[in-house]
A and B are shown apart, each in its own frame.
Chain A
Amino acid sequence: MKRVLLLLPLVIFLGIAVFLYRGLFLDPSELPSALIGKPVPQFSLPSVEDEQRLISEADLKGKPALVNVWATWCVACKVEHPVLNALAAQGVNIHGVNYKDDNAAAQKWLREFHDPYQLNIRDEHGSLGLDLGVYGAPETFLIDKHGVIRHKFVGVIDERVWREKLAVLYQELVDE
């Protein structure tokens, strides 16, 4: 019994050491979304192409999709855009949220760089972005066919991210 007690400080030390060692390899910029498992928040916003056409959360239901938050002022979005084009060509269902952007610039961007989005939501004042907990573009949400947010990815989707992370998750949602 006494021997065991003598080992106690060592055990506590090792416990804390393992805990802190793990902390060294966590990515502090990766914060879990508070919206995982919740439906896409209610919204009613015009489309980028046509001011008269209103899009709401009901339009996102039916098929699993990637909801990509982007803007023309976002440098990383330019890097991401060709990848999204390629994915759209493969038949991946992608919606765009044009976040706090100049609409004319957004239209020009889509004309010039090709439009991979099924729906183009125009979130000029960032109200939808705020409800989605967006804190910087690009961010991408994976939603299932019921319009429920299942995963969130912050940062640029490149081929590697898609192959190693998102493709599997998207396929799971398609197979559901």
Chain B
Amino acid sequence: MNRFLCALLFGLTLSTAVFAAIDTYEFRDETERQRYRTLTEELRCPKCQNQNIADSNSPIAMDLRQEIFRMLEEQKSDDQIVDYLVARYGDFVRYKPPVNTKTLVLWYGPFVLLAIGFGTVAMILLRRRRRVDGPTSNTLSEAERERLATLLDNKDP
């Protein structure tokens, strides 16, 4: 029984290693390590579609991680590294797509829809207020009130 528990615990500790691909890179300092992490998390693996290259175990993701590491060693800036990969794999590799004519709807479409929604609500509210203030209000006019009174008084119509 004890041995079983031991095996179970051992198995559980092993399973954490499955979640992310592990490479051993030696970074010069903490900032470089941080940049490497951000870059690999923001770039998408071309082969596996819905994983970033930090998480993926596919050979191409391994190559790209190595390539990013190499460029960091060469003191390239983040933009240079991203541009290098975009030149080869297209905007597809960016989880943060750039703003251009193709992605305009993607970036600003939600705000346009929101504006339309606010506009509609504002219009409805304005119209309702105007109706309350205007002659078509719910209160009765003097003549109407008199007529109502006679109608109510008249017990035998």
Q: Which residues of A contact B (CB under 8 A)?
A: 12, 28-29, 31-35, 100, 126, 130-136
Contacts and interface: CB of A to CB of B under 8 A. Distances in A.
Shortest 3 CB-CB contacts between residues of A and residues of B: A34-B90, A135-B46, A133-B88
Nearest to A73: B59
Contacts of B67: 130
Given A28-B49, A34-B90, A135-B47, 20 more contacts: A12-B113, A12-B116, A29-B49, A31-B92, A33-B90, A34-B87, A34-B88, A34-B91, A100-B59, A126-B63, A130-B63, A130-B67, A133-B46, A133-B88, A133-B90, A134-B60, A135-B46, A135-B89, A136-B47, A136-B60
Contacts of A33: 90
B99 to A, nearest CB: 18
A133 B47 CA distance: 11
Looking at chain A's contact residues, the main secondary structure is: loop
B90 A135 contact: no
A31 B87 CA distance: 14
Q: Which has the most chain B C-beta neighbours within 10 Å: A28, A29, A31?
A: A31
A33 B86 CA distance: 10
B86 A34 contact: yes
B52 to A, nearest CB: 14
Nearest to A19: B105
A34 B49 contact: no
B47 A35 contact: no
B88 A132 contact: yes
Residue of A12, A34, A100, A134 with most partner-chain B CB within 10 A? A34
A29 B46 CA distance: 9
A33 B91 CA distance: 10
A115 B57 CA distance: 32
Interface in B40-59: 46-47, 49, 58-59
Contacts of A35: 88
A112 to B, nearest CB: 25
B95 to A, nearest CB: 14
A32 B90 contact: yes
Contacts of B113: 12
B119 to A, nearest CB: 10
A133 B90 CA distance: 8
Given A126-B63, A135-B60, A31 B90 contact: yes
B90 to A, nearest CB: 4
Nearest to A9: B120
